Copies of this chain bind each other. A is one copy, B any other.
Amino acid sequence: MKLLGISGSLRGNSLNTAILRSVAAKLPADTVLDIFPLNGIPPYDGDLDTDTPPPAVAALRAAIGAADGLVIATPEYNHGMSGVLKNALDWASRHYGAATLIGKPVLTLSASMMGTGGARAQAQLNETLTAITARLVLRPQIVVMAAHEKVRDGILEDTATLDFILAGIGDLALEIRARAVPA
């Protein structure tokens, strides 16, 4: 099973990226999670949204299309998901009706230093994915509060949080398998 991880934070020491990397290291042997960095995704511009989009956008859409499912992690900036993540989803949502995100199983999570754990950002993210008609895996939501106390040296050390996310990955896997077309 091939999963694609997307972090809404670009900084090198991002807690959300660290969580994705930590999850990737603990997956079952039949599952891989590759992270697609959003650093190269340009601002969405309808005039560039042609049949030959910017190369990073084409790569993002192709990576989403090639994945069995997605794991998207977002920080919370100003009561919402990061503009960086929303911008990437705006690109990924196109062209209308033909986006590789349509019907794609997606597990979302948010992580923040705050006690709210980015819950507002995650609510926006889920709403946006619903608008795109991705297929949300809505298990008890993964909201990682005080994330800076759970991540050390780029590793998610809090085993309860890690296990909770891995259970979410399990639900994502069930959703993927339920939708797989028999060969």
Taking Cβ atoms with an 8 Å cutoff, the residues of A that contact B are 9-12, 14, 38-39, 41, 43-47, 77-90, 93, 120, 124, 127-128, 130-132
A90 close to B82 (CB less than 8 A): yes
B83 close to A90 (CB less than 8 A): yes
What CA separation (Å) do A71 and B120 show in the bound complex? 25
Which B residues are in CB contact (< 8 Å) with A77?
A: 44, 86, 90, 93
Shortest A2–chain B CB gap in Å is: 25
B11 close to A84 (CB less than 8 A): no
A86 close to B80 (CB less than 8 A): yes
- Selected contact of A11 from candidates B14, B47, B85, CB within 8 Å: B47
Shortest A123–chain B CB gap in Å is: 10
Which B residues are in CB contact (< 8 Å) with A9?
A: 46
- Chain B residue at minimal CB-CB distance from A93: B78
Shortest A136–chain B CB gap in Å is: 13
Which B residues are in CB contact (< 8 Å) with A83?
A: 43-44, 83-90
